[in-house]
Copies of this chain bind each other. A is one copy, B any other.
Amino acid sequence: MIDRIDRRILSILQEDSTVPVAEIGRRVGLSTTPCWRRIQKLEEEGVIKRRVAILDARSVNVKVAAFISITTNQHNADWLAKFADVIKEFPEVVEFYRMAGKVDYLLKVVVPDIEAYDAFYKRLISKIDISDVSTTFAMEEIKNTSQLPLNYVVTEKTRDPVKE
C-alpha cells in the first residue's frame, strides 16, 4: 500500500531519478535508510517499473510523430495475436493500443520525416493485411511526459482521490 510519503518519493523519482537517496529523504522528511527501504519496496512491488534515460527525439533524428488509426474486419484471437506481434517489433512504433469505438487500433510512430514515414508505412502494410488505415501527423509537440499523475493513487489513509 502506498502512502503520502511514497507518493512524494515517486513524484521526485519520475521527474529525476538521479537525485541521491539522502536528498530524497531530506525532502520528504526521512533519513536515508528508511527512505532507501521504501524505494526498494516500491521497486520490488513493481510500482517503479524501471529506470531509463530519456533521449531527445530531434537528436536521434525522429522529428515527426504520426498517429495511425487502423480499422479491421478481422477480429479473431489468432489474427490479433499475430498482428500485435508483428507491429510491436517495429522500433518506430512507440505506442500501440486496442481501442474502443470505430477505430480498432491506434499506433504512435516516430520517424525522421514524411518520406521516412512513407517507407515505414509500406513496410508495415507489406507485413500485415489491414483494410482501413488513416494517418495524422503531429506538427508540434506541446507536451510529452513520462510522468504519470499521482493524484489518483489510493493511499492507505483514504480511498478518495487526493489533490497534489
Chain A positions within 8 Å of B, measured between CB atoms, are 2, 10, 13-18, 45-57, 59-62, 65, 67, 84, 87-88, 91-103, 106, 110-112, 116, 136-154, 161, 164
Q: Are B17 and A141 in contact (CB under 8 A)?
A: no
| Number of chain copies forming the complex | 2
Residue of B nearest to A84 (CB): B142
Chain B residues whose CB sits within 8 angstroms of the CB of A141 once the complex forms? 95-97
State the main secondary structure of chain A at its contact with B: mixed
The contact sample of 13 A-B pairs, CB cut-off 8 A, is A14-B55, A18-B51, A49-B56, A51-B54, A87-B142, A91-B148, A94-B145, A96-B141, A98-B142, A99-B139, A100-B137, A101-B136, A102-B136
